[in-house]
């Protein structure tokens, strides 16, 4: 049967006969469930049995116990184990294979850990694997709307069928929860941050409760994005009528407290609120001359009695032709450090602008020691080629997480900021904007499943390398033939840089098509706002290219620690990936590659396209090892990507040439 991609990495087809497969078959014969009837523990048992029966192609019995001299898997709930609450320890004792954890959730993650070990053909001999999550809240943010559309979603429509809920429960809700649990995701915000106030109505809350009930046995908490003006919008229908959403108004505060109570009655483990306020036209506390802290703290007080948290986004920027959007979030949030209630987390996008193919890390990381900062990555490929481009994002996530903020001196990486170790944050969180949708294979581009997978795994352990993540995903999802694994791994690892090369090389950014954020539009000069044009960002002129963010320009570089500034503020030594982020460079300046800026720019665009052709060749070479349906799907999308890459290259090279007035260097052909 052809594989339609629905099962993601949870494929439990029988393992081919091999030494390890024989080892598994001999050792894993029965399961002794944990002494707990919690739904999460039951999920763990159900998943382990399903996985083993599939992979080993035999019945696995459940036994009340498996003794030390019997082959089998034993779940051990040990509250005094030296593990974090959700961590696990997999090891062998006599003939037993043990999944040990302090909590039922730990057992669930341990189960998926063991299955992953088998799916990637790890040996059971000497098995001794301890794993603890480095970040507490590992979240997906869905930008899903009431009408079933998804903002910046490209894989079909929303998974949530609001009009059917709560009476009809699509079985897919549970499949979704399984997939998330298997990679350690434990929280989801189900609706768009550009939030409809409807999600706060009784009509919708029972729908959300129905989803929460499906997710709970998989260890997943539900959050809701809120419209800050909900009291005013919905208060119109209440008596007495509420005419404001001012966070300092006692009636508004009471409205939110009552709302929180209503939600917690339905969903006792409700996670809390996610808020986009005073950003891109959304309402917020500034509408009433209050600060982000006033707004966040008001909501925080509403959910505090039930242990909820408020995740307040820092994605803010106002139109200022003289200013630099790069600095806006920093300027608005940095002064508020220390003013937020203890159950508020501020969620910051990885870069200072907006999920561009490549951005330096946001200067807020390391700058707010008294406020827990969460990372927001995009998994959906808004600026990364939608579902027609193979772009493995683990490389991009790692580049950001491993960037050094120097906040406490050398080695204070972004990862250490968000995992709480740098500033001892009591709360830690990381969010990925989901790339899932109603497409049969969940993510549109089959290979984009790897981005969902890698996000979850990195949220659990940011120390995992992109090579490891690629390997795991390929073996669990596509093939275990070593030569094919190697080729596909190489494809994944180079894919992000390839995409950057044919779209925004050398630190260019925000030159994409304006409305749908697809394809090139570097020539865009006019828009409703200056910072929604392209020329604002690339600043091409007869002299050169790039945004000067040094002291002679916007001076945004000073938002970083001196050590970071020292790396980036000299155009001669600034790493090339960030060059045009920080410097306006003359066309004839010689770069560290030995080429002039103009020639290097052309080279990157042309080599980017050649890189896509290489991906096509590599994919063709593994054809015999890949399911036919998946092979054809990816091959087709790579061909589309090649066409799109040519379009990017020709559009950008010809456009920038009108300023550079220099020939395209040999051996590259001039576009027609
Ligand atoms: O990247 C931009 C998107 C908007 C999005 C916004 C945000 C949800 O183009 O669609 O709105 O970011 O993150 O709030």
Q: Find out whether 32 and 73 touch, Cβ atoms under 8 Å.
A: yes
The confidence band for 445, taking pLDDT boundaries of 50, 70 and 90, is very high
Kindly name the residue from 86, 282, 294, 354 that is annotated as catalytic: 354
Ligand 1 lined by 287 (C-beta under 6 Å) = no
- Is residue 126 located within the same domain as residue 151? no
Q: Is the CB of 377 under 6 A from ligand 1?
A: no
Domain finish residue from 103, 131, 159: 131
Q: CA-CA distance, 391 to 436, in Å (whole number)?
A: 15
Per the domain annotation, does 14 fall within a domain? no
- Whether 4 is in a domain gets the answer no
* C-alpha 665: how far from chain center: 38
Q: How is residue 489 annotated by DSSP? A: H
Q: 555 pLDDT exceeds 80? A: yes
Based on the residue annotation, tell me whether 382 is a catalytic residue of this protein: yes
Is 320's pLDDT higher than 80? no
Given the CA of residue 276, which atom of ligand 1 is nearest to it? 14
- Kindly state whether residues 548 and 594 are assigned to the same domain: yes
Segment 313-331 mean pLDDT: 91
Q: Label residue 366 exposed, middle or buried (CB < 10 Å: 0-12, 13-18, 19+).
A: buried
Q: Are 235 and 243 in contact (CB under 8 A)?
A: yes
- Determine the straight-line distance between the first and last CA of the chain, rounded to whole angstroms: 45
Place of tokens 């408020």: 310
For tokens 């050094």, the residue is: 404
Alpha helices, H only, 585-627: 597-621
Say if ligand 1 is within 6 A of residue 143 CB.
yes
Rounded Cα distance, 366 and 326, in Å? 16
318 band by pLDDT with thresholds 50, 70 and 90: confident
Of 237-246, 299-308, 396-405, 632-641, give the lowest mean pLDDT range.
Answer: 237-246
φ/ψ of 392, rounded to 5, equals -80, 115
Q: Which pLDDT belongs to residue 40?
A: 98
- Quick one: 165 and 308 in the same domain? yes
Q: Is the pLDDT of residue 637 over 70?
A: yes
> Is residue 373 situated within a structural domain?
yes
Mean pLDDT of 106-119: 98
Does the Cβ of 490 fall within 6 Å of ligand 1?
Answer: no
Give 260-316 pLDDT, tens digit per residue. 999 999 999 999 999 999 999 999 999 999 999 999 999 999 999 999 999 999 999
Pocket flag, ligand 1, residue 193 (CB < 6 Å): yes
Residue 141 token pair: 């943010």
Query: Could you check whether the bond before residue 475 is cis, i.e. omega within 30 degrees of 0?
Result: no
Residue 304 DSSP code: G
Confidence of residue 1 (pLDDT cuts 50, 70, 90): low
| Rounded Cα gap, residues 301 and 304, in angstroms | 5
How many whole angstroms separate alpha carbon 268 and alpha carbon 132? 26
- Ligand 1 atom closest to Cα of 143? 8
User: What domain range is 54 assigned to?
Assistant: 19-131
Q: Which atom belonging to ligand 1 lies closest to the Cα atom of 383?
A: 1
**Contact between 150 and 194 (Cβ < 8 Å):** no
Half-sphere exposure for 472 (CA within 13 Å, toward CB): 28
- Same domain? 569 vs 590: yes
Mean pLDDT calculated for residue range 557-582: 98
Q: Cα 117–121–123 angle (5° rounding)? A: 75
Q: Any residues with CB less than 8 A from the CB of 238 and at least 6 apart, and which?
A: none
Ligand 1 pocket: which of 315, 347, 514 to mutate (most atoms within 8 A of CB): 315
**Residue 357 Cα to ligand 1 middle (Å):** 15
User: Do 601 and 517 belong together in one domain?
Assistant: yes
Atom of ligand 1 nearest to the CA of 279: 14
Q: Which run of H or of E encompasses 321?
A: none
Q: Are residues 239 and 386 in the same domain?
A: yes
Give the per-residue SS3 of 363-405. Answer: CCCCCCCCCCEEEEEECCCCCCCCCCCCCCCHHHHHHHHCCEC
**3-state SS assignment for residue 284:** coil
Active site residue 399: no
Question: What is the DSSP secondary structure assignment for residue 594, as one 8-state letter?
Answer: S
Neighbours of 641 (CB within 10 A): 25
282 Cβ partners below 8 Å, 6+ apart? 193, 194, 195, 227, 228, 276
- In this prediction, residue 30 carries a pLDDT of 97
Number of domains in the chain: 3
pLDDT of residue 156: 98
- Of these residues, 47, 382, 472, 521, which one is catalytic? 382
- CATH number of the domain encompassing residue 276: 3.20.20.80
Helices (H) and strands (E) in the chain, counts: 19, 16
* For residue 586, pLDDT beyond 80: yes
Q: Is residue 6 part of a domain?
A: no
d(CA 30, CA 52): 9
**Residue 403 and residue 464 share a domain:** yes
280 found inside a domain: yes
Residue 38 alpha carbon to ligand 1 centre in Å = 39
Q: Ligand 1, from 151, 359, 362, 517: best to mutate by most atoms within 8 Å of Cβ?
A: 151
Is residue 7 in a domain?
no
Q: What is the mean pLDDT of residues 236-241?
A: 85
∠ CA 374-377-383, rounded to 5°: 150
Res 107: pLDDT: 98
Atom 7 of ligand 1, residue of closest alpha carbon: 315
Q: Of 101, 131, 161, which marks where a domain is finished? A: 131
Residue 144 token pair: 């899903």
- What are the structure tokens assigned to 587, written together? 């066309």
* pLDDT of res. 240: 84
Find the 353 Cα to ligand 1 centroid distance in Å. Answer: 11
Quote the ligand 1 centre to 28 CA distance (angstroms).
48
Cβ-Cβ contacts under 8 Å for 294 (sequence gap 6 or more): 247, 248, 285
pLDDT tens column, 484-499: 999 999 999 999 999 9
Question: 447 has which bridge partners?
Answer: none
CATH of the domain at 538: 3.90.1330.10
Written as six digits, the tokens of 432 are: 């990925």
Residue 62 Cα to ligand 1 midpoint, Å, equals: 48
394 with 515, same domain?
no
Domain shared by 331 and 472, yes or no: yes
CA–CA separation, 255 and 4 (whole Å) = 47
Q: Are residues 459 and 578 in the same domain?
A: no
The reported pLDDT for the residue numbered 237 is 83
The enclosing H or E element of 505 equals none
Best mutation site among 194, 377, 384 for ligand 1 pocket (most ligand atoms within 8 Å of CB):
194
Q: pLDDT digit string (tens) for 345-361?
A: 999 999 999 999 999 99
| The model scores a pTM over 0.90 | yes
Cα 132 vs. chain centroid, distance in angstroms?
A: 19
Query: Crossing angle for the helix pair 172-182 and 449-460, nearest 10 degrees?
Result: 50
The distance between the two most distant Cα atoms of the chain, rounded to a whole number of Å, is 79
Q: What are phi and psi of 427, to 5 degrees?
A: -120, 140
Q: Is the shortest distance between the CB of 518 and ligand 1 below 6 Å?
A: no
Q: What angle do CA 116, 118, 122 make, to 5 degrees?
A: 100
User: Does 568 contact ligand 1 (Cβ within 6 A)?
Assistant: no
Does residue 354's CB lie within 6 angstroms of at least one atom of ligand 1?
A: yes
Asked if residue 669 belongs to a domain, the reply is no
472 is an active site residue: no
Rounded distance, CA 607 to CA 609, Å? Answer: 5
pLDDT band at 236 (very low <50, low <70, confident <90, very high): confident
Confidence bin at 147 (pLDDT 50/70/90): very high
- Which of the listed residues 131, 157, 192 is the one where a domain comes to its end? 131
Angle of CA points 519, 525, 526, to nearest 5°: 105
Distance in angstroms (rounded) separating the CA atoms of residues 216 and 214: 6
> Do 154 and 102 share a domain, yes or no?
no
Give residue 320 CA to ligand 1 midpoint distance, Å.
19
Give the pair of three-digit tokens for residue 285. 């506390």
Q: Which of 164, 280, 623, 628 is catalytic?
A: 280
Check pLDDT > 70 for residue 511. Answer: yes
486: Cβ contacts below 8 Å, ≥ 6 apart: none
337, with CB counted inside 10 A (0-12, 13-18, 19+), is middle
Q: How far apart are CA 402 and CA 391, in angstroms?
A: 19
In a domain, 491, yes or no: no
Q: Domain holding 87: CATH number?
A: 3.30.379.10
**Whether residue 276 has its Cβ less than 6 Å from ligand 1:** yes
E strands in 438-509: none
Pair 278, 338 in one domain: yes
Residues 333, 495: Cα–Cα separation, whole Å: 34
Question: CB atoms < 10 A from the CB of 653, how many?
Answer: 20
């Amino acid at each position: 049967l052809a594989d339609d991609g629905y099962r993601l990495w949870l494929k439990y087809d029988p393992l081919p006969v091999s030494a390890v497969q024989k080892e598994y078959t001999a050792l894993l014969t029965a399961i002794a469930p944990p002494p707990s009837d919690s739904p999460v523990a039951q999920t763990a048992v159900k998943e382990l049995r399903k996985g083993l029966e599939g992979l080993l192609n035999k019945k696995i019995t459940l036994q009340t116990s498996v003794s030390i001299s019997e082959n089998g898997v034993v779940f051990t709930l040990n509250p005094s184990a030296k593990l974090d609450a959700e961590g696990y320890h997999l090891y062998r004792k006599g003939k037993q294979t043990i999944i040990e954890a302090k909590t039922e959730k730990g057992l669930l993650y341990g189960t998926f850990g063991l299955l992953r070990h088998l799916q990637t053909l790890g040996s059971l001999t000497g098995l001794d694997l301890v794993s603890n999550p480095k970040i507490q809240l590992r979240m997906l943010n869905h930008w899903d709307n009431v009408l079933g559309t998804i903002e910046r979603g490209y894989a079909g429509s929303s998974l949530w069928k609001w009009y059917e809920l709560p009476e009809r429960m699509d079985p897919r809700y549970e499949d979704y929860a399984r997939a998330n649990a298997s990679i350690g995701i434990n929280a989801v915000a189900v609706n768009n941050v550009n939030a409809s106030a409807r999600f706060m109505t009784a009509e919708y809350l029972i729908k959300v409760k129905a989803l929460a009930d499906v997710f709970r046995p998989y260890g997943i908490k539900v959050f809701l994005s809120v419209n800050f003006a909900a009291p005013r919008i919905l208060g119109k229908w209440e008596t007495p009528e509420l005419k404001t959403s001012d966070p300092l108004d006692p009636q508004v505060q009471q409205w939110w407290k009552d709302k929180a109570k209503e939600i917690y009655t339905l969903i006792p483990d409700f996670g809390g609120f996610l808020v986009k306020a005073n950003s891109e036209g959304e309402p917020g506390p500034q509408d009433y001359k209050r600060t982000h802290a006033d707004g966040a703290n008001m909501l925080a007080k509403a959910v505090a009695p039930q242990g909820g948290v408020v995740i307040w986004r820092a994605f803010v920027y106002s139109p200022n032709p003289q200013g630099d959007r790069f600095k806006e979030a920093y300027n608005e949030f940095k002064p508020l450090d220390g003013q937020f209630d203890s159950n508020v987390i501020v969620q910051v996008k990885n870069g200072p602008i907006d999920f561009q193919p490549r951005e330096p890390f946001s200067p807020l990381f390391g700058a707010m020691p008294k406020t827990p900062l969460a990372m927001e990555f995009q998994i959906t490929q808004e600026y990364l080629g939608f579902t027609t481009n193979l772009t493995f994002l683990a490389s991009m996530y790692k580049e950001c997480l491993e960037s050094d903020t120097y906040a406490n001196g050398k080695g204070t990486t972004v990862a250490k900021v968000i995992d709480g170790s740098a500033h001892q944050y009591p709360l830690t969180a990381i969010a990925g904007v989901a790339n899932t949708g109603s497409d049969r294979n969940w993510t549109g581009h089959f290979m984009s499943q790897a981005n969902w997978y890698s996000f979850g795994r990195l949220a659990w352990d940011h120390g995992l390398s992109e090579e490891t993540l690629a390997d795991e995903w390929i073996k669990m999802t596509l093939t275990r033939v070593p030569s094919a694994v190697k080729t596909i791994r190489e494809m994944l690892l180079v894919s992000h840089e390839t995409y950057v090369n044919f779209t925004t090389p050398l630190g260019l950014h925000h030159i994409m098509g304006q409305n749908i954020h697809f394809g090139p539009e570097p020539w865009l000069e006019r828009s409703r706002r200056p910072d929604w044009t392209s020329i604002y960002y690339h600043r091409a002129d007869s002299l050169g290219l790039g945004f000067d963010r040094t002291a002679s320009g916007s001076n945004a570089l000073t938002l970083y620690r001196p050590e970071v500034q020292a790396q980036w503020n000299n155009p001669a030594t600034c790493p090339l990936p960030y060059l045009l982020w920080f410097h306006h460079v003359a066309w004839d300046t010689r770069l560290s590659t030995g080429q002039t800026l103009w020639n290097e720019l052309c080279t990157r665009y042309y080599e980017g396209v050649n890189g896509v052709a290489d991906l096509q060749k590599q994919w063709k070479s593994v054809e015999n090892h890949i399911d036919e349906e998946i092979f054809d799907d990816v091959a087709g999308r790579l061909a589309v990507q090649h066409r799109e890459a040519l379009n990017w290259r020709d559009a950008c090279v010809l456009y920038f040439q009108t300023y550079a007035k220099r020939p395209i260097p040999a051996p590259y052909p001039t576009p027609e």
